[in-house]
A and B are shown apart, each in its own frame.
Chain A
Amino acid sequence: MGHTITEKILAAHSGEAEVHPGQFVMARVDLMLGNDVTAPLAIEEFRNIGAGRLADAARVVLVADHATPNKDIEAAEQCRMMRDFSREQGVEHFFDVGRGGIEHALLPEEGLVAPGECIIGADSHTCTYGALGAFATGVGSTDLAATMATGECWLRVPESIRVAYRGGPKPWVGGKDLILYTIGKIGVAGARYQALEFCGEAIEALGMSGRLTMCNMAIEAGAKNGIIAPDATTEEYIRSVTGRSYTPQLSDPDAAYAHTVEIDCADIELQVAAPPLPENARPVQQMNDTAIDQVVIGSCTNGRIEDLREAAQVLKGRRVHPDVRLIVVPATRRVHLQAIKEGLAEVFVEAGGALSTPTCGPCLGMHMGVLAKGERAVATTNRNFVGRMGHPESEVYLAGPAVAAASALLGHIGSPEELR
């Protein structure tokens, strides 16, 4: 019996010839990540462990992205804790304000992730890196602390679910629509504790940005990790960001899966997920012109240059609806710079949008666009839970950049087709 890509990566990192779903392993971790919310707690626990020094400072990445640029004194203290710790322990991959961006958009772009690697992060969307053929999963702060001390992390080998996408997507339909549709089909616990392995024609044809969007939201189906087999697209992407070598893994043809979900792309319209769960995905046409107050385009899900290009294509030469506030947040400094160079920044500001420096801010209702009671937003982010972007009685509708941009112009949830 063969093995899945996830099983093969975990076996290679725990010194086993093979591993099986349900088995617990101590995996050697290639890269570990923390942010300004989770790292301070991890640093405290690291001190409690009493290890003194990091097992390997080169494998630690710390990113100040959630409440940055520091939203208040407490946030400033948390970032200082990371900064001081990085200096003390020689953490080179500490990304401060202006030097980095949102962690999950940043790490691939910095060449810190490659196929076949095993990555943990004290952030649930660490699963994003599966797009590059890596095993990557979210853990807690204490896990990060223990991994900083030992270089290893305990993991239960997950069963894998194969999700196969047949055919090509309709116009404007992208990675976000594919994943929202999939979560709508299997539910927010549909892949609980399991690996979601995305494959099929539509995935092979999808660019790296769309793949990152899809794996980013694997956690919204409860998955341990999302993963896509590395191919020519992966190799090209890796070569554009780093020169280092890596050992890719692929699923065996006779690998065992918990089950397979078959999806025909011809069935997928532009998607919107209504609150309070990402599984409430439906075609944009069914949103019945729901009026909105704010649109956020950004986050680790859809804040890459490809996303901003798509939004700008819709917004160019038009004006944001008078009742709507548009906030555009490039995910990283490179994306921000590229958006300026390509004239996208001008499109957003000309349209009446607010262009922000990279930050998680509005995505988790922390700062830079918090919603008031009863307000409704369309966001290209990944969660629409109760109170996610602000007041518990505010609402978040999830969509891709094209729908978000079109909605900002229309004043209600709608598709770019309505603008003609």
Chain B
Amino acid sequence: MSDIRGRTHLYGDNVNTDVIIPARYLTTSDAAELARHCMEDIDPEFVSKVEPGDVVVAGENFGCGSSREHAPIAIRAAGVSAVIAKTFARIFFRNAINTGLPALACAEAAASIKGDDEVAVDLASGRIENLTQGRTYQAEPFPPFLQEIVAAGGLVAYTRKRLARR
């Protein structure tokens, strides 16, 4: 069973958080407002092209730069259901885990998927299916520690549980 299905938007290496959501929009943390400017400095058309469920696919070091959590929030609020990249910058990755944006590291998928391919992702197994090309890829599984946070529904819910146990 795939939780995610959508068309891909393709980007290169080192997509940084400044182009995902420029600083000039950081005086708000309103998700809908942030979504309106998502990817603006790298792809001004993105917001008009993206459809609910779409998937962002990129190369190395996706989300490098600033720690702004506004970046994964903007991507998710724009309707993106998952990001697949060859590798992720670490703060972006933890922000994605913490806020519930699926972030899958898979070099093979990143190299093979083209723009506007249709893909389906099964989060539990990390299986990525390219429906356009008829290929499947296997993303790196989350370590058990992170699976717990993901299973809880993000860090807020996970922390609430931890506090309740104290």
Contact = CB atoms under 8 A, between A and B. Distances in A.
Interface in B4-33: 14, 16, 18-19, 22-24, 26-29
Given A44-B29, A48-B156, A78-B27, A140 B91 contact: yes
A192 B70 CA distance: 21
Nearest to A47: B156
A122 B68 CA distance: 8
Contact of A142 (B14, B18, B156): B156
A419 B143 CA distance: 56
Interface stretch (B58-66, B116-124, B130-138): B58-66
For chain B, the bracket of interface size reads 35 or more
B160 A49 contact: yes
B68 A37 contact: yes
B163 A385 contact: no
Given A37-B68, A49-B160, A74-B28, A188 B22 contact: no
Given A141-B69, A222-B64, A37 B90 contact: no
B18 A38 contact: no
Interface string A36-68: 011011001100111100000000000000110
A122 B95 CA distance: 10
> Looking at A67, A193, A387, which has the most chain B CB atoms within 10 Å of its CB?
A387
Contacts of B146: 24
Contact of B149 (A49, A154, A383): A154
A223 to B, nearest CB: 9
Contacts of A67: 26-27
Contacts of B108: none
Contacts of A44: 29
A50 B160 CA distance: 7
Given A138-B91, A154-B145, A365 B155 contact: no
Interface in A169-201: 188-189, 192-193
Interface of A: 24, 37-38, 40-41, 44-45, 48-51, 66-67, 71-72, 74-75, 77-78, 121-124, 126, 138-143, 145-146, 149-150, 154, 188-189, 192-193, 222, 224, 277, 364-366, 370, 383, 385-388, 392
Interface of B: 14, 16, 18-19, 22-24, 26-29, 41-42, 60-61, 64-70, 87, 89-91, 94-95, 98-99, 143, 145-146, 149, 154-156, 158-160, 162-163
Query: What are the 9 tightest A-B residue pairs by CB atom distance, in nearest-first order?
Result: A74-B27, A140-B95, A24-B145, A140-B69, A189-B61, A142-B98, A124-B67, A364-B23, A146-B159
21 contacts: A37-B70, A38-B69, A40-B29, A44-B29, A48-B156, A49-B163, A51-B163, A66-B23, A66-B26, A71-B27, A140-B68, A140-B99, A142-B69, A142-B154, A142-B156, A145-B159, A146-B156, A222-B90, A365-B23, A383-B18, A386-B18
